[in-house]
Amino acid sequence: MRILAGLLLLLATWGNPAWAAPPVDHLSAPTVSDIGPTSFTVSWVAYAQFSPQTHYQVRVDHALYAISQFATAVTVGSRRPGTQVKVEVVTYHDGHVLGVSSATLVLMGPATPDPVYATEVTSTTFRLTWAPVPTATQYQIWRHPGELLTTVAATGDAPQSLVLGPFTPGASLTVHVVALNPSSPSAPSTGVWVQLKPPAPNIEVVAGEIGSTSFRIRWTEVDGAACYSVYRNGEPFAVVPATTTTVLVTGCPAGLTARAKVAARNATGDSEFSNEVTVLLKPAAPDKPWATEIGSTSFVLNWKLVAGAESTQVFRDGEWHVANASAPATSVRLTSGFNPGDTASMTVKARNAAGDSEPSEELAVTLLGGATTPSLRLAGQPGEPVSLSPGQSAAGWRVRGADGRVGPIRTLLQGKPGLIGLFPQAAAPANEAALAGFRRWALARRTVPLTVLELFVAVPAVAPPPPRLGLTILEESLPAGQRLPVALTVDPLGVIRGHGTDLSAAALEEMVATTLNLPAAPLGPTGEAVRGERLRFEGLHRAP
């Protein structure tokens, strides 16, 4: 092979007078081409007087590279990227070294950037960061498969970083980095796969589904979303799957404003927040109203104002709108459409700009008068038969209470509203049970400003009344349909405000609350304290 190469070279140069003597550039620096990060090609001018014994060998950084050869070009490999090497050519002729060429300095191509990673991923951008590469003067960022995104200048030994974008929200892409120096580009870095966050949803409130403690929002589906995160008043509320684009937001304060926003989520994270909606909720349903100043054709209806209410609507029998009162008013006098003895079912609704609350619990109000007013005649009491209807006065009844006090009812009340129990003298088991229940209820109410009187009624008439009895029925017993025991509520002046024959604790609470507007009974003592208090109470109420 060496002989054949020499013959070919001889034929190629035969007859060229320039080769008659060694050329002046025989020992000039070799030419370098095809420089990469780890290899390059070196070529040189052949010796003019070559013979089959003439051959060449490349020397790299003073070390001979590979073996000698007859060709005038060779590829040098296995170099370190980014380094500078010295290249020379040694010529052998007729068994001895003819000479060494001048040197050529070769800058190897830069190393591959590593590591490369993505941070600060948003819906449309991300930050790409990579380690600096020695000798690099520029970096190219490519998007797979072959789109050059940008070229940036090297900035020294600090990590390189830049924000790329904007891209389509939620898109996925692979990018790599190539370093460049004056000699060549590096090999591409390992590709970095980036999943951009999805775009932010756009939400709205469903107008027909605003309640007192909840409201519904909806949004259009977001491409690439795996699920949605819903926030209520700035706090996480729910996470729903990608197929769901509506949520009922619950647990909100009635009558006040609430806020909601949504973020779409994929494998990378949450999108930017959607627009935030603010919703005014309807007020809560008011508590059951109560009536005062009940007359034969009018009464005052009272209620507690609820949070967020701008006004209160008053209804009779569930659907007849009879009054409207702007906040902060909490009562209204009703004077139209009522007849003596009528019973009206009253409810109230709270209202604000969002709409009406649910109605309150119904209150039945019976006006004074009518044909069936129960009455009875009492011994020792002046005047006509005493009516038990609300609005009639029991202030002048002269009675002896169970605690031994004697006097008119208005004196025994001591300026407080009262509950009066009328019990028959006869000791029937049912009456004893009612009396015991009445006393237990009175014991539970001992901390509330309320005077409780137990009055015993003799039937039939006995004159003069036995000293043990507070009241005696004279000419007639209770009217048809009325049976003792009976409970009466009276105001501090002794005017009857309510009456009933049901002496259960619940019925007494209801009558006191609706006719006297007193709070419910507090929790009473327990254990030994209850037994001791009961004994004391029964001692006070033992008949003399």
Contacts of 539 (CB under 8 A, 6+ apart): none
Helices and strands, counts by H and E, the chain:
5, 39
How crowded is the C-beta side of 261, counted as CA atoms within 13 Å? 12
Asked if residue 193 lies in contact with residue 205, where contact means CB atoms within 8 angstroms, the answer is no
Q: Strand ranges (DSSP E) for 38-143? A: 40-43, 55-60, 63-69, 73-76, 84-93, 96-100, 104-107, 116-119, 126-130, 138-143
- The tally of domains found in the chain comes to 5
pLDDT of residue 348: 96
Q: Is 401 helix (H, G, I), strand (E, B) or coil?
A: coil
| Residues 395 and 303 grouped into a single domain | no
| Residues 392 and 504 grouped into a single domain | yes
Strand partners, 97: 92
In this structure, is residue 321 part of a structural domain? yes
Two structure tokens written together for 74: 């060779």
| Residues 357 and 451 grouped into a single domain | no
Two structure tokens written together for 286: 């008011």
In this structure, is residue 498 part of a structural domain? yes
| Residues 382 and 470 grouped into a single domain | yes
Asked if residue 477 lies in contact with residue 452, where contact means CB atoms within 8 angstroms, the answer is no
Two structure tokens written together for 483: 């049976």
- The CA-atom distances, in angstroms, between 222 and each of 123, 125, 173, 226 are 12, 18, 19, 9
Asked if residue 285 lies in contact with residue 359, where contact means CB atoms within 8 angstroms, the answer is yes
pLDDT of residue 191: 95
Q: What is the CATH number of the domain that holds 236?
A: 2.60.40.10
pLDDT of residue 233: 96
- What is the SS3 string spanning 356-394? ECCCCCCEEEECCCCCCCCEECECCCCCCCEECCCCCEC
305 burial via Cβ count (<10 Å: 0-12, 13-18, 19+): middle
| Residues 386 and 500 grouped into a single domain | yes
In this structure, is residue 285 part of a structural domain? no
Phi, psi of 435 (to 5 degrees): -65, -40
Phi, psi of 416 (to 5 degrees): -120, 155
| Residues 296 and 262 grouped into a single domain | no
CA distance 392 to 498: 10
441 burial via Cβ count (<10 Å: 0-12, 13-18, 19+): buried
| Residues 421 and 485 grouped into a single domain | yes
CA distance 511 to 501: 11
In the 8-state DSSP scheme, what is residue 485? -
| Residues 191 and 207 grouped into a single domain | no
From 107, 137, 155, give the residue that closes a domain: 107
pLDDT of residue 514: 81
pLDDT along the chain (544 residues), means of 10: 41 40 64 96 88 91 93 94 95 88 95 95 95 95 95 91 94 96 95 94 94 96 94 96 96 95 94 95 96 89 94 92 94 89 91 95 84 52 62 78 76 88 75 85 82 75 46 48 76 85 86 81 50 48 40
From 333, 366, 399, give the residue that closes a domain: 366
| Residues 82 and 207 grouped into a single domain | no
| Residues 346 and 389 grouped into a single domain | no
In this structure, is residue 124 part of a structural domain? yes
pLDDT of residue 460: 52
Say if residue 479 is preceded by a cis peptide, omega within 30 of 0. no
pLDDT of residue 221: 93
pLDDT of residue 2: 40
In this structure, is residue 357 part of a structural domain? yes
- The CA-atom distances, in angstroms, between 30 and each of 36, 45, 71, 344 are 17, 8, 13, 117
What per-residue string of b and e applies to 71-83 under the rule 16 or more CB within 10 Å gives b? ebebebeebebbe
| Residues 360 and 239 grouped into a single domain | no
| Residues 62 and 130 grouped into a single domain | no
From 280, 301, 327, give the residue that closes a domain: 280
In this structure, is residue 30 part of a structural domain? yes
Question: Residue 457 sits in which domain range?
Answer: 375-540
Q: Is 53 helix (H, G, I), strand (E, B) or coil?
A: coil
